[in-house]
Chain A
Amino acid sequence: MDAHVAQLQMQYRNYILSLYQQGFLDDQFTELKSLQDDGSPDFVAEVLSLFFDDCVKLVGNMARALDQTGTVDFSQVGANVHQLKGSSSSVGAKRVKGLCINFKELCEAKNYEGCVRCLQQVDIEYKTLKAKLQDMFNLEKQIVQAGGIVPQVDIN
């Protein structure tokens, strides 16, 4: 096998492992990858795209809801957190999901400052994840372009 391909594949493997080790992804992401096959070769990319669109929308909603000088509708914020928690959980976005769990409690406690801070963290976190996964997809592309196959990475 081409040395270049082998090197790229190793880079890819290490990158994926680091994403799991650093807590960006959990085994739901593994499950997601297992749903992709020759019949649906872009499934992971499509689902992630929908997820990140959701992030933009929901974070926007929450920012607006928290921006109400006067009475903040925490149930509205909570409803958006609930949705984000659901989708982050389904894609295996571990850190985002973890933040949503805290966020939910802050909404229930009607902790305004806490919510604002948490929202900022969510914003940073999903953008960070998006960049990391973009790097992952780029590596996959490079491997394929170099004539290789994207390896299945065994997390355990």
Chain B
Amino acid sequence: MVIAAEPQFHVLAVDDSLFDRKFIERLLQKASCHVTTVDSGYKALEFLGLREGVEINDPDAVSTSPVIHQEVEVNLIITDYCMPGMTGYDLLKKVKESSACKNIPVVIMSSENVPARISRCLEEGAEEFFLKPVRLADLNKLKPHMMKTKLKNQKLEEIETPSKDESGTAAAVVEPEVNNLTEIGIKILPLQSEVEPKQVHLQVVQKEEQTMSNNKRKSVEEGLSTDRSRPRFEGITTAV
């Protein structure tokens, strides 16, 4: 498999205002992300291969979206809250309800500071809630969230390719990686509980991760990006 030199995060940005789309697009590009912008929640769902909650692999679905959408990896969805028709909150719910997309981190943006709104979004599974105008510093907080899905997708690809070891071991590769990210203060709630029994297989990975987790977030990301994980994990699976 081809390993990219730099992690290219792909962000789907949703906002009904042209102005805001232009703004968030530039911000994301400046944060070194690939950006796709759409002007509504409906278009976002279409792009993700979900249409009105219907998944693309539903045989009864009449979808005009080409199958290619399934292969487009989205590492983050950032959406405005106030949009006509489908709000950012509605979009968040649809994404979290979909088995294909529920692991994609979702971030909500709003120009209004309404605590009830913020907590509702966070409870529904939004990773962050940003007040507009969003700043570059805010986006840098998102890299660990995006890295999580990126690495997870990589490992899932690896599991799919025939490996010498039982899939149990390969699957175990996923959890501790994520668990160690929690040491830098990122909430990875669902996965923590599954980690314990499998950690013992991957001491080498953990040791490397430990040193990295002591660094600031920014350098973690740099560390991970230059030191591309794939070869390391291949080494781990064979070593076990």
Chain A interface (Cβ < 8 Å from any Cβ of B) = 28, 31, 34-35, 37, 39-40, 43, 46-47, 50-51, 54, 82-83, 85-87, 89-90
Contacts and interface: CB of A to CB of B under 8 A. Distances in A.
Contacts of A89: 111, 132-133
B132 A90 contact: yes
A86 B27 contact: no
Contacts of B26: 35, 40, 43, 47
Contact of B19 (A35, A40, A50): A50
A74 B136 CA distance: 35
Interface of B: 17-20, 22-23, 26-27, 29-30, 82, 111, 132-133, 135-136
A85 B30 contact: no
A46 B18 CA distance: 12
A35 B30 contact: yes
A11 B136 CA distance: 30
A40 B133 CA distance: 20
30 contacts: A28-B133, A31-B136, A34-B136, A35-B27, A35-B30, A35-B136, A37-B30, A39-B29, A40-B26, A40-B29, A43-B26, A46-B22, A47-B22, A50-B18, A50-B19, A50-B22, A51-B19, A54-B19, A82-B111, A83-B17, A85-B111, A86-B17, A86-B111, A86-B132, A87-B19, A89-B111, A89-B132, A90-B19, A90-B20, A90-B132
A15 B17 CA distance: 31
A86 B83 CA distance: 13
A91 to B, nearest CB: 8
B37 to A, nearest CB: 13
Contacts, number: 43
Nearest to A82: B111
| Among B18, B19, B20, B132, residue most surrounded by chain A Cβ atoms (within 10 Å) | B19
Contacts of A40: 26, 29
Contacts of B30: 35, 37
A130 to B, nearest CB: 15
A35 B134 CA distance: 12
Contacts of A50: 18-19, 22
Closest 10 CB pairs of A and B: A90-B133, A86-B111, A50-B19, A87-B19, A35-B26, A35-B30, A89-B133, A90-B23, A43-B26, A28-B133
Given A39-B29, A47-B22, A90-B23, 4 more contacts: A35-B27, A40-B29, A86-B20, A89-B133
Given A40-B29, A82-B111, A47 B136 contact: no
Contacts of A86: 17, 20, 111, 132
B130 to A, nearest CB: 12
A87 B19 CA distance: 7
A39 B135 CA distance: 19
Contacts of A90: 19-20, 23, 132-133
Contacts of B22: 46-47, 50
